[in-house]
Structure 1
Amino acid sequence: MKKRLNDNWTFCKFPLDTPIETLFQNTSWTPVDLPHDWMIYDAENLYEQAVSCYRRIINKKQLLDEADPDTQKIELVFEGVYMDTAIYLNQKKIFTWKHGYSEFVVDLTDELEDGDNELLVRNEYHLPNSRWYPGSGIYRDVWLLTSSAAHLVHNGTYLSTKQLGKTWEVFMDTEFIDEAGAASDGRICHEIFDADGTLVTTHESSIHFSDSVQVDKQVLTVIEPKLWDIEEPNLYQIRTSLYAGDTLTDSVTQNLGFRDIAFDADKGFFLNGRHVKINGTCEHHVLGSLGAAMNKAALRRQLLTLKEMGVNSIRNAHNMPPEHMLNLCDELGLLLYTESFDMWERTKTDYDYGNDFKDWWKKDLTSWVRQDRNHPCVFIWGIGNEIYDTHFDRGLELTKELHNAVRELDYRKNAYTTLGSNYIEWEAAQRTGEVIDLVGYNYLDKCYDEHHEKYPDWKIFGSETSATVQSRGIYHFPLSNRLLTFDDLQCSTLGNCTTNWGAKNSEHTIIAHRDREFCFGQYLWSGFDYLGEPTPYFTKNSYFGQVDTAGFPKDTFYLYQAEWTDYKKKPMVHLLPYWDFNEGQLIDVRIFSNAPKV
């Protein structure tokens, strides 16, 4: 049984050097519900260094009374805690986790005592540890998992599909175990349901339990299923049930999408045999004034806004996505470029994950791939972003290790590996292109033609593009006057404000990728504004987005919409600027439309 455990938590915060005994003895706790980003509550001190602690009382008897009668295993799943987490039960340290974005599981089975148990989740925030605003605390969902000794392993199912004419095969590999060590027989049954809940097909096989993890492999067939596509994201559900004898001991239900993806070095990307140009945006995990605290409704609003712009893919920059992102992209028909690490062994800030990468990357990568690999939306594995290590031999070794580790977990290639690189114009970094499946370029479209000729087998795309800056409703004339900073401390949204590493303007970004068939697409930096990286001014948030932090589109939103949407389905026209400037003032008037004639 799986249920959220987001209620009845309390919270406290202390200076960094506070000993753990002080937390144990603390009597002043603030009630909170999860997800919770404690840092967003003080807008004047968004990067406060602190030790924070979350407390919850877990009564073992009450927990067992609410669970299935044969419950013998009790686990907690944390989707994300930022960062450097230690977990204590009854003042005993039972678990540690370093990464701030990867999911982890804490086994409480042998630790819980009869009666009340005090659970403390302690995390540290040292400055600086990130290049953007990460938030802090238990900012994603917490889940309680209860099961019998014979159970399915968490995230232990691996599914993939393959088309054979009108028939599709569904491959299901399922990990199971009986921790009681009972050498008994059982069975695993898979059932596929369509969107209406109608049973489409079922298949089962006999199994034999042991006290070590076993893998059951089955193949189901479905005739002429509705395909998952960015236009019509048809979803099925597949339910996996584990039986010991005739007793149901565990089950899990997950999304199933029938889709086929392919990349061609000359022709680009194909989804279900149809050529698709990737029109994507990079998105950090913050949700405007909500901070990092995950909120499904707010995330849905962001994704629907981006779809309205014509976006068909999201790059989850530069960290593992939450379960809500995966499920929403499945539901809404958005392809997901899921990402893992912003640094490897060479740090970018004093206290970032690079300090722990060497000892922890395999655990975090395993958690990431096992969580994401079954979702039909996932089509790219991003194993790193702007990794300075790739200048050196060690970087090439790590590229191979990470690529191979992904392939061991996604061995039927549901998605393809890549690096988002701003170093790919140098020879040393180019060596990684011979390892990864797709070659990502950050702000280096000038290299596309040369590299396509030099490396004709490379599948090339813009992993990070644009980096123009704009403030909603601000216009600095004339359009021909290109500047980064202005006296009013705003960025012009007329189309004449950009960074020194970014594109000349949005039109350049569009043309550079639209007119190169071999380049399968791009990801703008960024879709939404986000907290942190306030180029070029010292403010709280960035100006890179086509939508501001409140969710209101800027004028560039409509420029991309004019290029990325079909006037036959939804015609649009957008004029700028507004009309209350000084009398006699010469202004630039711009018109964006997806129609061939207005």
Structure 2
Amino acid sequence: MIKIPFSLGWERAIGQSKEFWLGNDNPRVKVDLPDDFIINQPRTAEAVGGASTGYFPGGRAVYTKCFEAPAEWSDKTVVLDIDGAYMNAEVTMNGEALGVHPYGYTPWQLDLKDAIIPGEKNELEVVTRCIQPNSRWYSGGGLYREVSLWIGEACHIRPWDIAVTTAKVRDSHAVIHIEAVVTNESEKDAQGTLQIRVGETKASLPVKVAAGSTRKMESDIEVVGPVLWSAESPHLYHLELELQTNLGTDHSELPVGIRKIEIDAKNGMRVNGQPVKLLGGCIHHDNTLLGAAAFPRAEERKIELLKTAGYNAVRCSHNPPSEALLNACDRLGMYVIDETFDCWRVGKNDQDYHLYFDEWWQRDTEAMVRRDRNHPSVFCWSVGNELVEAGGMSKGVELAGMQADFVRSLDPDRPVMAAFHSMIKTKREKDKPPRMPFAAASQKNDSEKGGSEEVMKRMADPAVFEKMIENIATNNMGDGFVNGEDVWGEISEDCAAMLDIVGYNYLPKRYTADAKKYPDRIICASETHANNTYDYYQAMMENSNVIGDFIWTAYDNLGEAGAGRVLRSVQDMASGMLGAWPWLSCYQGDFDLDGNRRPQSYYRKVMWQKDDGIHLFAKPPQYTGRKSQGLGWQWSDVWKSWTWPEAYIGKDIDVECYADCDTVEFILNDEVVGTAPVTRFKAEFTLPYQPGTLKVIAHKEGRITAEDTLITAGEPKGIRLIPDRKEIRADGMDLCFVKVCLVDGEGEIVPTDDLEVTADVEGGNLAGFGSGNPCTDENYGTGKRKLWKGQGLICLRAPMEPGKITLKVTGKGFEEELEIRCS
């Protein structure tokens, strides 16, 4: 079948529905997909989803597209392909109700043949509803992924009816196995041939399909001298299928990768015979300033950035991703854990997927596997995350087994996992309370004793407060043992036995013990804390049964607001795990909302032995001597800046740098001020602040290996615009990301947080304007933003016609203009 883009030229109306006889007077606006109708709506402290959704509202949106269907489609098969609609979507064609789809993250295909009117104008309507609270993170809403039409003959091969696997890999040749289901929707029998081509290799199969039936075709194709796919060398072949029958000729094509993946507890993971440790990160589905809109270029940019930071794997948390993201992972080289659900029967929010699980899990799982099974980047399926049922409640063991077996029936070649954390418990039995793998606090520590006023007074002491937070974070690192008894292992082992890989969320202390207790268990560290990343990484490297370490998170996301914040006072803790208004993002990622690398990203790449440089950062001087405490997901609040208020001149300031070396030499304004040893790839030093240049030199085994500097910026003199590309496609879908920087006369970034700038665009569209600021009351969609640390990010959307986009950014007397070619 031929794929036709169908994302442009829609109308959208936002608002609640009315009784049908009253009509619908919600105003319509023209939109092009992908479209997240939530992202530009005002955020408020009273939003129902609260910090979980970044204080964004929910809502309802109706999308309408009118189009002429060619007369020749009268004898064609027409399939509507919605890659993602959030959520509770309904589709109507020419007034005919075609179906509903509750889950917002799985793709959905509908046959339009009986509803479409060839040769006339047709109206397609899609209703989407984002009823909060339905998510633990920012979901967005609407037709936020691409929409397409597939056109085929009466006898055809549907896009999800092709399965390609690597049957054999040798140095000299490889064999790939191809299955294709031929569907004959006509009233005549079909006969002819199926031509298959992979590279220069061809095969031909005779085809006979009775009227109104299907037939599965299979073929083994030998590829001589294969170039294998891996994250390090992501080579793709082009597969073509041509079905020639008396009913017409139908074409199919897709990229495929040839690779051999082996995983076991003794030897770990091997790709094409080579050992691989997964240096992974968890990512949510949003694209920050674009909301949930899954533009192919935005998804590609995210994977590009993660590759530059040393990642070789991502976990799609906690839902199937867009196909655009998987395409990027195939092309660029990134291993993927493809995950279905964040809950099963027991929900985590009133309106989440638990309401639909029993009726829909099989259809949604099938949609994910059948769409994604030909992507070489996908090495593993996950059927859930942090499931309440993992301890046996609500028939959790049975559910795990059913889902794992169903996935294997669709794809027997990939392993199946689910991610467990320590917060599970058994079902309640008569005269017995539920068993939980952690001990209740038996007594308060000294800082918590006494009346509330007395406790609050003691907590005002930074040392006392930091000790309390340290205790909380330590308790979050439990190992599941209670009074010497392995409660977690006992209550989770039946559910774990249903899986090929067991995901461990925040359970590093179990890796070695479980290698002995469960010698055949393959472990994936499916979520790990940033603050203890060294310990997690070393534990993975020391245990062959642990195939990878996935940091939470690799890229900052909207919602889960403030979970990665540094806690400075009792007031910071008042809102609990998440941050109070106006926190916007989780602030846990290695990249901020703009795609700038945060300090932990530099540390991790050094730790992974992928960076032989040194990277210098300074802590804001008001926090000198204070620990950067949090709940485990935080990082030291240091910045790549040596520009601080004059009031701090002469006062101590803490700095730290990351490098694989023995010692670091610190030089301030050409004078050596001291040295510091490097422990766990980090050196820390305190010195009096003086404006100018702070330089560090890394020494290893008696030689200089790297240098880095921080320079005090002068007064702001202008705005610099830095595009990621100077030319983009004039297809209505391509994007250009433009970094906005406030600079001094020497081009140094001036790290101010209070300069508001405005963007004006001609010849294209302003798709988004944001900053890396994780805690702001600003709204998207206004065309303006305050710079954060002197920086912001603009996203431009290409027009349909060749030409140029002109961007002008102004603010506080500064103005800069940029032109982007569109061809």
Partner of 2:649: 583
Aligned residue type for 1:226: V
Instruction: Note closer, same or farther for the CA distance 1:12–1:449 as it changes in structure 2 (3 Å cut).
Output: same
Aligned counterparts, 1:364-403, within 5 A: 364-392=364-392, 394-403=395-404
Say whether 1:133 aligns with 2:141. Answer: no
- Structure 1 distance, partners of 2:42, 2:195, is 51
Partner of 1:331: 331
Contact 2:38 2:140 in 1 (8 A): yes
**Alpha-carbon deviation of 1:164?**
4.8
- Structure 2 distance, partners of 1:306, 1:349, is 31
Contact 1:167 1:224 in 2 (8 A): yes
Partner of 1:572: 613
Q: Deviations over 1:159-204 (max 9, x none)?
A: 10133532211100101111113223121111012xxxxxx20111
- Structure 2 distance, partners of 1:76, 1:174, is 20
Q: Which range is displaced more, 421-430 or 215-224? A: 421-430
**Alpha-carbon deviation of 1:589?**
2.8
Say whether 1:549 aligns with 2:593. Answer: yes
- Structure 1 distance, partners of 2:643, 2:78, is 64
**Alpha-carbon deviation of 1:26?**
3.8
Identity over aligned pairs, percent: 30
- Structure 2 distance, partners of 1:358, 1:252, is 34
- Structure 1 distance, partners of 2:290, 2:258, is 35
Contact 1:267 1:520 in 2 (8 A): no
Using the size of structure 1 for normalisation, the TM-score is: 0.87
Contact 1:420 1:441 in 2 (8 A): yes
Contact 1:287 1:293 in 2 (8 A): yes
Contact 2:421 2:506 in 1 (8 A): yes
**Alpha-carbon deviation of 1:250?**
1.4
**Alpha-carbon deviation of 1:595?**
6.3
Partner of 1:525: 552
Q: Tell me which of 142, 150, 157 is aligned to 2:155.
A: 150
Aligned residue type for 1:574: H
Q: Which range is displaced more, 538-547 or 587-596? A: 587-596
- Structure 2 distance, partners of 1:348, 1:94, is 30
- Structure 1 distance, partners of 2:126, 2:660, is 51
**Alpha-carbon deviation of 1:444?**
0.9
Partner of 1:91: 95
Q: Deviations over 1:15-61 (max 9, x none)?
A: 3x634555x6447311000000000012425532322100111333x
Say whether 1:105 aligns with 2:126. Answer: no
Partner of 1:309: 309
The alignment covers a number of residue pairs equal to 543
Structure 2: state its 5+ residue gaps: 45-54, 425-479, 481-487, 564-577, 619-640, 663-699, 706-823
For the residue of structure 2 that corresponds to 1:344, the secondary structure is coil
Larger radius of gyration: 2
- Structure 1 distance, partners of 2:609, 2:227, is 24
Contact 1:47 1:127 in 2 (8 A): no
- Structure 1 distance, partners of 2:643, 2:130, is 47
- Structure 1 distance, partners of 2:501, 2:26, is 53
Q: Deviations over 1:319-347 (max 9, x none)?
A: 11111111111111101111111111111
Partner of 1:226: 227
**Alpha-carbon deviation of 1:292?**
0.3
For the residue of structure 2 that corresponds to 1:588, the secondary structure is strand
Instruction: Note closer, same or farther for the CA distance 1:20–1:55 as it changes in structure 2 (3 Å cut).
Output: farther
Say whether 1:440 aligns with 2:440. Answer: no
Aligned residue type for 1:89: M
Say whether 1:58 aligns with 2:58. Answer: no
Aligned residue type for 1:135: G
- Structure 1 distance, partners of 2:407, 2:534, is 36
Contact 1:311 1:564 in 2 (8 A): no
For the residue of structure 1 that corresponds to 2:536, the secondary structure is helix
For the residue of structure 2 that corresponds to 1:175, the secondary structure is strand
- Structure 2 distance, partners of 1:141, 1:127, is 24
**Alpha-carbon deviation of 1:515?**
3.0
Q: Deviations over 1:115-163 (max 9, x none)?
A: 2222211111211000000000000000011111111123101110133
- Structure 2 distance, partners of 1:215, 1:258, is 22
Partner of 1:170: 176
Structure 1: state its 5+ residue gaps: 194-199, 469-503
Q: Deviations over 1:502-561 (max 9, x none)?
A: xx5332233232333331111110011100001242211111111101111111110011
Partner of 1:35: 34
Aligned residue type for 2:128: N
For the residue of structure 1 that corresponds to 2:654, the secondary structure is coil
- Structure 1 distance, partners of 2:291, 2:404, is 32
Q: Deviations over 1:66-124 (max 9, x none)?
A: x6xx7421121000000001112233322111110101112111112362222211111
Q: Which range is displaced more, 550-559 or 41-50? A: 41-50
Contact 1:75 1:105 in 2 (8 A): yes
Contact 1:170 1:219 in 2 (8 A): yes
- Structure 1 distance, partners of 2:342, 2:57, is 22
For the residue of structure 2 that corresponds to 1:529, the secondary structure is coil
Partner of 1:537: 579
- Structure 2 distance, partners of 1:90, 1:518, is 56
Contact 2:339 2:383 in 1 (8 A): yes
**Alpha-carbon deviation of 1:572?**
2.4
Q: Deviations over 1:451-492 (max 9, x none)?
A: 1111000011201111x4xxxxxxxxxxxxxxxxxxxxxxxx
Partner of 2:669: none
Instruction: Note closer, same or farther for the CA distance 1:573–1:457 as it changes in structure 2 (3 Å cut).
Output: same
Instruction: Note closer, same or farther for the CA distance 1:249–1:428 as it changes in structure 2 (3 Å cut).
Output: farther
**Alpha-carbon deviation of 1:420?**
1.0
Partner of 2:525: 462
For the residue of structure 1 that corresponds to 2:346, the secondary structure is coil
Aligned residue type for 1:419: A
Contact 2:13 2:26 in 1 (8 A): no
Contact 2:194 2:244 in 1 (8 A): yes
- Structure 2 distance, partners of 1:127, 1:544, is 23
- Structure 2 distance, partners of 1:547, 1:64, is 50
Partner of 1:263: 263
- Structure 2 distance, partners of 1:402, 1:533, is 28
Instruction: Note closer, same or farther for the CA distance 1:270–1:594 as it changes in structure 2 (3 Å cut).
Output: farther
Instruction: Note closer, same or farther for the CA distance 1:102–1:257 as it changes in structure 2 (3 Å cut).
Output: same
- Structure 2 distance, partners of 1:225, 1:19, is 62
- Structure 2 distance, partners of 1:593, 1:344, is 44
Runs of 4 or more off by more than 4 Å in structure 1?
Answer: none
Contact 1:566 1:594 in 2 (8 A): no
Aligned counterparts, 1:290-305, within 5 A: 290-305=290-305
Using the size of structure 2 for normalisation, the TM-score is: 0.64
